[in-house]
């Protein structure tokens, strides 16, 4: 039954040699993208269905590279570079705030070349991998898709969640005065790709990615949503206008996301 809602494929992740420098990391990322996406994966994103082509590719990246990306992510997190809005100058949430209002996901917008310049070869690989996926999906389906924003997010336990939303926002709803810079191109988003970076995840830690067939009003009907666990190396891909959310998370959960923009 689930299979009819989430298109799922589990692959044997292509082995990647530990990159020695930024150029090698970028080449390895692109190469890995070309190996994991074939015509069937690309088409799965455009199949008809209530879940807007929700697709899951398990084991897309080998555990060694997932580990390297997670180590880089943790480094940035420990340096305080991840913030609720993604603005690196924004202060970290105070304990006081968390106590009264609860915690929030934190994030940063990455440029693969900056990651490379900082010696974060895992994230340089990841950025190139996700950009490569975007280009490859475009090529295989005859659409013009351009790599857009690359986001690293951390849901650091404490019940942190993200309410139902769509990643695509129509241009007329866009308010340049109030949205942070990286939201400026939300109207261009067509496909969202998310790569999870956990080592081991279990259902007890919550944090599922929940996809909705329709935007729920109140409690959603069981038929109208599907949950995907954020297992390390899993890639979730979907049309950016599909409603989705992240359920309360009780473990450290890192995700690297790419929004593929309309060309």
The strand pairing partners of 194, in sequence order, are 236, 257
Give Cα 67 distance to the centre of its chain.
16
Binding mask 95-134 toward ligand AKG (x if CB under 6 A, else -) reads ----------------------------------------
Binding mask 156-175 toward Fe ion (x if CB under 5 A, else -) reads -----------x--------
Q: Residue 246, interface with ligand AKG (CB under 6 A)?
A: yes
255 interacts with, out of Fe ion, ligand AKG, none, CB within 5 to 8 A per kind: ligand AKG
CA-nearest of 198, 204, 211 to 240 is 211
Beta-carbon count within 10 A of 145 CB: 20
Q: Residue 259, interface with ligand AKG (CB under 6 A)?
A: no
- 239, 243, 244, 245 alpha-carbon torsion, rounded to 10°: 150
Backbone angles phi, psi at 142, to 5 degrees: 70, 25
Least distance to ligand AKG, CB of residue 260, Å: 13
Q: Which of 194, 205, 226, 256 binds ligand AKG (CB under 6 A)?
A: 194
Least distance to ligand AKG, CB of residue 199, Å: 16
**Nearest residue (beta carbon) to Fe ion:** 167
Rounded Cα distance between 77 and 154, Å, is 8
Task: Determine contact, residues 32/122, Cβ cutoff 8 Å.
Answer: no
The residue ranges that bind ligand AKG (CB under 6 A) are 153, 162, 167, 194, 209, 244, 246, 255, 257
Q: Which residues bind Fe ion (CB under 5 A)?
A: 167
């Amino acid at each position: 039954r689930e299979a009819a809602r989430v298109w799922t494929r589990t692959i044997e992740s292509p082995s990647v040699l530990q990159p020695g420098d930024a150029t090698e990391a970028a080449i390895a990322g692109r190469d890995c993208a070309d190996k994991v996406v074939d015509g069937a994966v690309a088409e799965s994103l455009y199949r008809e269905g209530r879940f807007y082509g929700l697709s899951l590719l398990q084991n897309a990246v080998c555990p060694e590279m997932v580990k390297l990306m997670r180590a880089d992510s943790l480094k940035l997190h420990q340096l305080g570079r991840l913030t609720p809005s993604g603005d690196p100058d924004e202060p970290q949430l105070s304990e006081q705030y968390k106590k009264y209002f609860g915690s929030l996901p934190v994030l940063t917008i990455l440029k693969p070349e900056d990651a490379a310049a900082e010696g974060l070869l895992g994230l340089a690989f990841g950025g190139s991998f996700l950009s490569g996926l975007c280009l490859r999906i475009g090529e295989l389906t005859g659409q013009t898709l351009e790599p857009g924003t690359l986001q690293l997010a951390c849901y650091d336990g404490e019940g942190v969640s993200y309410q139902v939303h769509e990643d695509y926002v129509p241009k007329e709803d866009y308010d340049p005065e109030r949205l942070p810079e990286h939201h400026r191109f939300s109207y261009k988003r067509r496909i969202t790709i998310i790569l999870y970076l956990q080592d081991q995840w279990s259902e007890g830690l919550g944090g599922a990615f929940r996809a909705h067939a329709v935007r729920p009003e109140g409690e959603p009907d069981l038929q109208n949503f599907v949950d995907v666990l954020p297992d390390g190396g899993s890639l979730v891909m979907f049309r950016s206008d599909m409603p989705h959310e992240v359920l309360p998370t009780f473990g450290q959960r890192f995700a690297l996301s790419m929004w593929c923009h309309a060309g």
